[in-house]
């Protein structure tokens, strides 16, 4: 590729990325890849997202945090393929969800080593297939499972039916749904962990809310905010599993729960004791 062709391919990319790409032509140094790739991504996202790309971390999600849909992804990949002289098959691209995924993927390509996608990451489709909760009552768009914890994200669209009435003329994501989102991530952990002690969750495909203690909400969340959801397993004794959980938005704590307990497995309904008070309304 001549410098002219490269400049044409990287038109409107930031100068540092173009410079890195020119250097890459001669030395093929994998260390240059992050600058080149971030520059190409920055060029294709909406202008108001560009500062976010500049500040992106490896775990920054392409879709819900940077607004990169599948069409923009095609343009980004086309330019990357041209500039780095690599080819990226569609089936491999589908596994890339974060900035870090892209960097690792291209690094492996340039070094000629096989790329192993992070198997713990679940897409929105995979989550919807695993959980009994479904849109419009599913508040989890991506999730990643670790041995004793899970992280996930949900971008508030503003079209959630609940938000239409919460509040009048002022859309705010209900705090109760944040606790629900934490519960859904914890349920997903139980269903998909693969651990023998949670077999009951896997086989029934669901978990039931039991208790929540030490719930705090510290930030109002509105449409276009992305909830970064984390749960950590504290203890488990069938049929109960207890987690702690946090939700952050833009690096700020939005909500936390000290203990969130779910019940799983074949739950027997207990005989309801008659209530002493009755609903009058």
List, in sequence order, the alpha helices (H) in 85-174.
90-93, 99-111, 124-130, 161-164
- Comparing CB distances to other proteins, the nearer of 68 and 247 is 68
213 binds other proteins (CB under 8 A): no
- Which of the ranges 68-76, 143-151, 214-222, 259-267 carries the binding residues for other proteins, by CB under 8 A? 68-76
6 binds other proteins (CB under 8 A): no
Provide the minimum distance between the beta carbon of 73 and other proteins in the complex, in angstroms, as a whole number: 9
- Residues 211 and 199 sit within 8 Å (Cβ to Cβ): no
- Which of the ranges 42-50, 51-59, 138-146, 244-252 carries the binding residues for other proteins, by CB under 8 A? 42-50
- Comparing CB distances to other proteins, the nearer of 69 and 250 is 69
82 binds other proteins (CB under 8 A): yes
* Cα–Cα distance for residue pair 117/209, rounded to 1 Å: 33
* Cα–Cα distance for residue pair 220/158, rounded to 1 Å: 14
75 binds other proteins (CB under 8 A): yes
- Which of the ranges 74-82, 118-126, 132-140, 155-163 carries the binding residues for other proteins, by CB under 8 A? 74-82
Give residue 234's region: left, alpha or beta (phi > 0; psi -120 to 50): alpha
78 binds other proteins (CB under 8 A): yes
54 binds other proteins (CB under 8 A): no
DSSP state of 271: P
- Which of the ranges 16-24, 71-79, 119-127, 265-273 carries the binding residues for other proteins, by CB under 8 A? 71-79
72 binds other proteins (CB under 8 A): yes
Can you tell me which of 46, 118, 197, 213 binds other proteins, judged by CB under 8 A?
46
94 binds other proteins (CB under 8 A): no
- Comparing CB distances to other proteins, the nearer of 109 and 144 is 109
Token pair for 112: 């000629």
**Consecutive H or E run containing 253:** strand 252-264
- Residues 244 and 234 sit within 8 Å (Cβ to Cβ): yes
- Comparing CB distances to other proteins, the nearer of 16 and 46 is 46
* Cα–Cα distance for residue pair 147/144, rounded to 1 Å: 10
- Residues 215 and 255 sit within 8 Å (Cβ to Cβ): yes
Residues with Cβ within 8 Å of 243's Cβ and at least 6 positions away in sequence, in order, are 182, 186, 189, 231, 232, 233, 234, 257, 259, 260, 261, 262
Residues at the site binding other proteins, with contacts judged by CB under 8 A: 12, 44-47, 69, 71-72, 74-75, 78, 82
């Amino acid at each position: 590729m001549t410098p002219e062709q490269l400049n044409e391919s990287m038109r409107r990319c930031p100068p540092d990325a173009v410079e890195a790409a020119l250097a890459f032509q001669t030395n093929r140094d994998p260390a240059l890849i992050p600058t080149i790739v971030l520059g190409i991504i920055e060029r294709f996202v909406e202008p108001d997202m560009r500062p976010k790309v500049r500040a992106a971390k490896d775990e920054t999600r392409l879709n819900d945090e940077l607004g990169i849909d599948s069409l923009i992804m095609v343009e980004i990949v086309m330019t990357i393929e041209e500039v780095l002289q690599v080819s990226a098959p569609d089936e491999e691209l589908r596994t890339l969800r974060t900035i870090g995924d892209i960097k690792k993927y291209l690094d492996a390509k340039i070094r000629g080593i096989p790329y192993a996608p992070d198997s713990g990451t679940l897409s929105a489709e995979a989550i919807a297939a695993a959980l009994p909760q479904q849109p419009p009552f599913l508040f989890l768009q991506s999730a990643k499972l670790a041995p004793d914890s899970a992280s996930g994200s949900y971008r508030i669209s503003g079209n959630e039916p609940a938000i239409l009435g919460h509040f009048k003329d002022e859309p705010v994501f209900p705090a109760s749904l944040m606790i629900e989102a934490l519960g859904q991530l914890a349920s997903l952990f139980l269903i998909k962990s693969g651990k023998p002690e949670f077999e009951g969750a896997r086989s029934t495909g669901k978990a039931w809310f039991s208790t929540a203690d030490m719930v705090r909400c510290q930030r109002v969340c509105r449409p276009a905010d992305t909830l970064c959801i984390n749960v950590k397993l504290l203890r488990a004794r069938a049929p109960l599993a207890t987690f702690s959980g946090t939700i952050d938005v833009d690096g700020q704590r939005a909500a936390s729960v000290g203990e969130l307990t779910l019940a799983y497995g074949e739950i027997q309904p207990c005989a309801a004791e008659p209530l002493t008070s009755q609903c009058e309304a």
